[in-house]
Amino acid sequence: MKSIIIASTSTIHGSGYLEYLLEPLKIHFKNADTILFVPYARPGGISHDDYTSTAAKAFAKIGKSVRGLHEFDDAEAAVKNAEGIFVGGGNTFVLVDQLYKNNALLALKEAVIKGTPYLGTSAGSNICGLTMNTTNDMPIVYPPSFKTLGLVPFNINPHYLDPIEGSTHMGETRETRIKEFHIYNSPPVIGLREGSWIAVEGNTLRLQGTLEARIFEYNKTPYEVAPNSDLTFLK
Amino acid sequence: MKSIIIASTSTIHGSGYLEYLLEPLKIHFKNADTILFVPYARPGGISHDDYTSTAAKAFAKIGKSVRGLHEFDDAEAAVKNAEGIFVGGGNTFVLVDQLYKNNALLALKEAVIKGTPYLGTSAGSNICGLTMNTTNDMPIVYPPSFKTLGLVPFNINPHYLDPIEGSTHMGETRETRIKEFHIYNSPPVIGLREGSWIAVEGNTLRLQGTLEARIFEYNKTPYEVAPNSDLTFLK
């Protein structure tokens, strides 16, 4: 049975890394002693080792140890044998490129479908969707494909930002960007605000946290869903 | 002799489409009666026809007519025969994808090198750089490559935004994104603020407009250059 937490961000303003998620993570990873951490997205370009240390410090607070996927010679086998998996944020293009190059993408998908509990934040959440076409990240590398895990039947837009009232900046708002996505693609997109996450348990999907999420469906006016909403209807 | 205007944006706040650029455009396109407009980037998903009308209305003010590249059966020939070229903004992924699919990218490069005056705004400026790796756009389609025109020996970041002081949002700032670009790539990047443009005349490159631009060189602290600076030193 799938068991996934798809979080908008690892960190909310004024709080430590993963701090706002530690209570749900205790339950989510209750049967795992060691978490396999995928550091490929390298936020700010930090090294795999440094990024893994950051994750390890957070998980130590709930009594879990952490191993970085980069420490294993065989990434595919490491994923297959993991008790729990956390894919951290950073740059989605770099993450997806590395997942393809290390043959880890299909292994991740199979492990999660078999029931290995998964946590994604930001880029690690983006890849839970059908494609990475709705990432906010800069395309600093060219991955072999934009196709991702497809663990949910829609796309994720993490760090969702509402249009800034009175802004004089002429760059596109997030809403405009997602509208443009729907000129060329039909899957729904969930704009997940920072502090929100989607909890997937088997076939049930539920919005968690205290904030509404914004839903963009093809050929429909975008709308809000309330915290704790069942999202199973989205296809 | 190359003659290029690489503008951060088509429109500055509180002003009409291309309005702030019309005076320099009169000189830039002085030998052209008809401008070939490339509407491929489709901002907000508008049609090629509608986008071309927008460009035509602006150019009518300086006595030029406009034809859309989509109106021609042979895009390559249309580019080759153009008196002046304008590539409008929108989504850079869509633009680059369409340029490749219509065999127009190489034709554009050759025409500009032979001296056809070129105007790019936003996405149309991004493609003047070596690659589109520093676009701000959402990757809503997967182009065959991120390689672009290479008319200047660096990359462009249009609509450059300074970090917002006191922001509580945890998504990456523009500066962080460009820093991440330099983990994997070495060319310089120019952060062009809205209202700025680069004027290329032969081998001379000059920053135009009233604002400073931010320069990101590999392994250097980012710095500002003043309006009217010569940018020829950047390689």
Residue in the structure block whose two tokens are 């490559």: B145
**pLDDT at res. A10:** 95
Q: Using alpha carbons only, how large is chain A's radius of gyration in Å?
A: 17
Give pLDDT < 70 ranges for chain A: none
- Between CA B210 and CA B215, with CA B214 as vertex, the angle to 5 degrees is 130
Contact (CB<8Å) A142/B145: yes
Inter-helix orientation angle B92-101/B105-114, to 10°:
90
Domain count, chain B: 1
In CATH, what number is assigned to the domain containing residue A135?
A: 3.40.50.880
Give chain B positions within 8 Å (CB) of A47. none
Contact (CB<8Å) A45/B161: no
**pLDDT at res. A53:** 98
Structure tokens at B222: 């980012």
Contact (CB<8Å) A184/B138: no
Torsion from C-alpha of B138, A216, A18, A123, nearest 10 degrees: -30
**pLDDT at res. A61:** 98
Secondary structure (3-state) at A58: helix
**pLDDT at res. A172:** 84
Secondary structure (3-state) at B88: coil
The answer to whether residue B122 is catalytic is yes
Residue in the structure block whose two tokens are 């959402």: B138
Q: Is residue A100 part of a domain?
A: yes
B199: Cα separation from own chain's centroid: 11
- Walk across the sheet containing A197-201 and list its strands: A65-68, A34-38, A85-87, A118-121, A3-7, A197-201, A204-208
Kindly report the number of other CB atoms within 10 A of residue B26's CB atom.
Answer: 13
**pLDDT at res. B71:** 98
Q: Is residue A49 part of a domain?
A: yes
List the catalytic residues of A: 122, 137, 159
Residue B111's contacts (CB-CB under 8 Å, 6 or more residues apart) are B79, B80, B82, B85, B118
Q: Is residue A234 part of a domain?
A: no
Give chain A positions within 8 Å (CB) of B177. 137-138, 140
Query: Tens of pLDDT along A97-127?
Result: 999 999 999 999 999 999 999 999 999 999 9
Domain that residue A156 falls in: 3-225
Listing DSSP states for A131-197 in one string gives: BSTT--S---S--S-SB---SSSSEEE-S-----TT----SPPHHHHHHHHHHH--S-EEE--TT-E
CA distances B94 to A55, A210, B54, B97, B101, Å, are: 36, 36, 19, 5, 10
Q: Is residue B212 part of a domain?
A: yes
Task: Divide the 235 residues of chain B into consecutive groups of 10 and give the mean pLDDT of each group.
Answer: 97 94 98 98 96 98 98 98 98 98 97 98 98 97 98 97 82 91 97 97 96 97 97 93
Q: Is residue B234 part of a domain?
A: no
- Alpha helix (H) residue ranges in B91-147: 92-101, 105-114, 123-126
Q: How far apart are CA A69 and CA B155, in angstroms?
A: 33
The answer to whether residue B230 is catalytic is no
**pLDDT at res. A166:** 80
Q: Is residue A97 part of a domain?
A: yes
